[in-house]
Amino acid sequence: MASVFDDQRDSLEKHEFMMGVPRGRLAVTLDMITDALILVGQHGVYCTSARNPTQPALDLQTVLQQLTGAKELIQSVMEEFASKSDSK
Protein backbone atom coordinates (compact mmCIF):
# COMPACT_ATOMS: atom_id res chain seq x y z
CA MET A 1 0.00 0.00 0.00
CA ALA A 2 1.45 3.33 -1.08
CA SER A 3 1.77 6.36 1.15
CA VAL A 4 -0.77 9.16 0.86
CA PHE A 5 2.14 11.38 -0.09
CA ASP A 6 2.71 9.17 -3.14
CA ASP A 7 -0.96 8.65 -3.99
CA GLN A 8 -1.83 12.33 -3.74
CA ARG A 9 1.48 13.77 -4.95
CA ASP A 10 0.02 15.95 -7.72
CA SER A 11 -2.77 17.36 -5.57
CA LEU A 12 -0.42 17.97 -2.66
CA GLU A 13 2.13 19.78 -4.83
CA LYS A 14 -0.57 21.96 -6.39
CA HIS A 15 -2.31 22.87 -3.13
CA GLU A 16 0.88 23.28 -1.10
CA PHE A 17 2.24 25.65 -3.75
CA MET A 18 -0.98 27.71 -3.78
CA MET A 19 -1.73 27.71 -0.05
CA GLY A 20 1.43 26.71 1.78
CA VAL A 21 2.16 23.29 3.25
CA PRO A 22 -0.28 23.16 6.20
CA ARG A 23 -3.25 24.65 4.36
CA GLY A 24 -2.50 22.70 1.20
CA ARG A 25 -2.42 19.43 3.10
CA LEU A 26 -5.67 20.29 4.85
CA ALA A 27 -7.27 21.12 1.50
CA VAL A 28 -6.23 17.75 0.06
CA THR A 29 -7.50 16.05 3.23
CA LEU A 30 -10.87 17.76 2.76
CA ASP A 31 -11.00 16.53 -0.82
CA MET A 32 -10.22 12.99 0.31
CA ILE A 33 -12.88 13.09 3.02
CA THR A 34 -15.41 14.45 0.52
CA ASP A 35 -14.59 11.57 -1.83
CA ALA A 36 -15.03 9.09 1.03
CA LEU A 37 -18.38 10.66 1.94
CA ILE A 38 -19.55 10.24 -1.64
CA LEU A 39 -18.50 6.59 -1.74
CA VAL A 40 -20.12 5.78 1.59
CA GLY A 41 -23.26 7.62 0.52
CA GLN A 42 -23.44 5.61 -2.69
CA HIS A 43 -22.94 2.40 -0.73
CA GLY A 44 -25.74 3.47 1.61
CA VAL A 45 -28.19 3.36 -1.29
CA TYR A 46 -27.66 -0.40 -1.55
CA CYS A 47 -26.99 -1.20 2.08
CA THR A 48 -30.08 0.00 3.91
CA SER A 49 -31.21 -0.34 7.48
CA ALA A 50 -33.38 -3.37 8.25
CA ARG A 51 -35.57 -1.19 10.48
CA ASN A 52 -35.91 1.70 8.07
CA PRO A 53 -35.20 0.90 4.42
CA THR A 54 -35.12 4.62 3.55
CA GLN A 55 -31.99 5.08 5.70
CA PRO A 56 -28.47 3.68 5.29
CA ALA A 57 -27.41 0.84 7.59
CA LEU A 58 -26.49 1.98 11.10
CA ASP A 59 -22.77 1.38 10.61
CA LEU A 60 -22.82 3.53 7.48
CA GLN A 61 -24.72 6.25 9.33
CA THR A 62 -21.95 6.26 11.95
CA VAL A 63 -19.21 6.43 9.30
CA LEU A 64 -21.02 9.30 7.54
CA GLN A 65 -21.44 11.15 10.83
CA GLN A 66 -17.77 10.74 11.77
CA LEU A 67 -16.51 11.80 8.32
CA THR A 68 -18.82 14.81 8.33
CA GLY A 69 -17.55 15.78 11.79
CA ALA A 70 -13.93 15.41 10.71
CA LYS A 71 -14.61 17.57 7.67
CA GLU A 72 -16.19 20.28 9.85
CA LEU A 73 -13.19 20.27 12.19
CA ILE A 74 -10.73 20.61 9.31
CA GLN A 75 -12.80 23.43 7.81
CA SER A 76 -12.75 25.24 11.15
CA VAL A 77 -8.94 24.96 11.30
CA MET A 78 -8.67 26.37 7.78
CA GLU A 79 -10.95 29.25 8.79
CA GLU A 80 -8.72 29.93 11.80
CA PHE A 81 -5.69 30.04 9.52
CA ALA A 82 -7.51 32.47 7.22
CA SER A 83 -8.62 34.74 10.05
CA LYS A 84 -5.11 34.84 11.52
CA SER A 85 -3.55 35.71 8.17
CA ASP A 86 -6.21 38.38 7.55
CA SER A 87 -5.51 40.04 10.91
CA LYS A 88 -1.78 40.38 10.18
Confidence of residue 2 (pLDDT cuts 50, 70, 90): confident
Task: Indicate the average pLDDT of the chain.
Answer: 91
Q: How far is CA 38 from the centre of its chain?
A: 10
Question: Cα 82 from chain centroid?
Answer: 19
**pLDDT digit string (tens) for 18-73?**
999 999 999 999 999 999 999 999 988 888 888 888 889 999 999 999 999 999 99
Q: Quote the pTM value.
A: 0.84
pLDDT of residue 74: 95
